[in-house]
Amino acid sequence: MPQEFEKTYEFLARSGNAAATPVLIAALRSEAIDIRDHAFDALLKRTSVKGEAYLFENWDDLSDAWKQKIKLQMGVMTTMLRERLLSSSRPESEKAAAIALQLEEFDLVRTMASAAEDQNNPNRDVAGRCLVSLIDRLRKLLDEATDARKRNLVIWRGRAMEALEDSMRRCNSHQSEDIVESFLMLTSREHPVFRHLLDSPASQVYRITLGILKRTLRPSIVRLIISIFHETSPCLTLLSAAAWRTDKPFVTQLLDSFSSGMSETEMRNIKKIPSVAWCNDQLEMLESLTGRQQETALRFLTTSSQDRDSVFGVIHFFLTRGKPEGRLAAVDSLAKDRGAVASQLIIDATKDEDPDVAAAALRQLRNRGIPGSLKYLLAQLDSEHEVVRVAVRESLEEFSFSKFLAAFDLMDADRRKTTGHLVRKIDSQSDQLLIAELTSDMQSRRRRAIEVVECLGIARQMEQPLLELLKCDDYLIRVAAANALAGCNSDTAVAGLREALLDRNVSVQQAAEASLQVIAERRTTAPAIRIRPKTPAGEKE
């Protein structure tokens, strides 16, 4: 565009002559894009009622680029929007509200609050809805803003809070739910006005506030409700409001807030809740929760003061239809319940398809004194799942190899054998402990260890330590080791025994010779492996 035209538009933008506005408005209808854009920019720089009126009347015809310019310049249409919001004409009021939302005119919060308060205003509901939407937008921007823009947003929040605080003090008169909801979106639990909202159950503001807290899904208000659990002296009505909710979106947010655990303060506050609404008749919702949420739900219920029968119903439900985490939490929650029904549920849970759940149930069997529990536990030692085998060993910790060794000399031969095999199956450290005994510096412990090897018939597993004992200074231990090696069958064992034939002690030589004879006989009488003859492909024998 020629420089002369640019100077003309600059002059029209700064001119105090009211006639400049109609000239610029006329230029907006030009077929030339450059003329329209320069005229629009000049119009935005003027403070003109006619200009604002034109923008308002022709808002739907303005391009998105022009609307964005109006938004960025801020305040261009504030006066006109304020006037039209308060208009008795519903179409004008609704249009002004829609434009205010598009432009994020946060400076109009006080105007909207006043219009929503006015019971004689025919468009009170329009102002109220616009106020709620505008505050919701401000709240979202505050939550998402970077440092660069947050400063302005904080200023707008402060101004909005001043207007809303004034309106809240008159709430018992105007009874506007939109104003209360807007206030709740911006406030914090420390705000003095908020802390006194629920002081008087007979007041209208109490009724309105409680109604909103029971149904809203506004993220900021939901966070406000959940934050009550962090207080050392919370409002019991607010705690109860959280417990009264049964809608899944709220319940899941509440449970997720405790997913990483509960602090002592949170647990004390949950304990103050006498009844949790979703504990009763909300099985479908509970079933739809994630496993972690089901786990947290049970922790929440068992921490609260909810009656035991209702909690037990949820436990039973999770054990039969819950997800693995929920079933595991249900099993753990029954640990202190020694009733017959609880014990039967634990028995059933030992057969759960999830090994972690089954293992948790197995850990409770013996403490419940359930008949046949020992036999059942022993059978689970052969489980394919390591977590189950570990759980069984923990439940049978008295069957330790150390205790077996301590009582070994007091047992008869049969009991030594049966108990030893059982302990070795239960205590995974048995072989390591036995090797430690075989290599002990104390001769008495080594002799007893060799007896254990012979008693249990596990010479092959202990072959190397036994071969080392053939070099022991104590000939009695060398004799015992040579005798025990009769249970081996390897060439290494045979070679070791042949060396023992040269031992300086005759008893050792005799023991080695006897063991070699046993091995030779066993090798001779061992059944030969039958090798099937090969047949041509496709033929049958």
Domain total in the chain? 1
The whole-number pLDDT of residue 4 equals 61
Angle at 327 between CA 321 and CA 331, to 5 degrees: 130
Is residue 154, in this structure, part of any structural domain at all? Answer: no
Question: Does some domain include residue 475?
Answer: yes
pLDDT for 149? 73
What pLDDT was estimated at residue 528? 52
Residue 287 lies in a domain: no
**0.85 exceeded by pTM:** no
Model pLDDT, residue 401: 87
pLDDT score at 527: 63
The per-residue pLDDT for 392 is 87
Q: How far apart are the C-alpha atoms of 353 and 493, rounded to whole Å?
A: 45
In a domain, 153, yes or no: no
CATH of the domain at 494: 1.25.10.10
CB 267 within 8 A of CB 300: no
What is the spatial distance between Cα 206 and Cα 196, in angstroms, rounded to a whole number?
Answer: 9
Spatial contact of 109 and 164, defined as CB atoms under 8 Å apart: yes
Segments in the chain below pLDDT 50: 531, 534-541
The runs of H, that is alpha helices, within 322-398 are: 324-333, 340-349, 355-365, 373-379, 386-395
Residues in the chain: 541
- Secondary structure of 206-270 in HEC code, one letter for each residue: HHHHHHHHHHCCCHHHHHHHHHHHHCCCCCHHHHHHHHHCCCHHHHHHHHHCCCCCCCHHHHHHH
pLDDT tens digits along 452-465: 999 999 999 999 99
Contact call for residues 97 and 89 (beta carbons, < 8 A)? no
What pLDDT, on the 0 to 100 scale, is given for residue 127? Answer: 96
**Sequence-ordered list of residues with C-beta below 8 angstroms from that of 503, at least 6 positions apart, any chain:** 470, 475, 478, 509, 512
In a domain, 347, yes or no: no
Q: Are 453 and 466 in contact (CB under 8 A)?
A: yes
pLDDT of residue 3: 61
CA–CA separation, 471 and 503 (whole Å): 9
What's the domain range around 445?
Answer: 401-522
Q: Tell whether 445 is covered by a domain.
A: yes
How far is Cα 238 from Cα 135, in angstroms, rounded to an integer?
22
For residue 509, tell me if it sits in a domain.
yes
Q: Are 394 and 383 in contact (CB under 8 A)?
A: no
Q: For residues 472 and 442, what is the distance between their CA atoms, to the nearest angstrom?
A: 12
| Residue 485 domain-assigned (yes or no) | yes
Structure tokens at 59: 């808002």
Q: Which of 472, 456, 360 is nearest to 408 (CA)?
A: 456
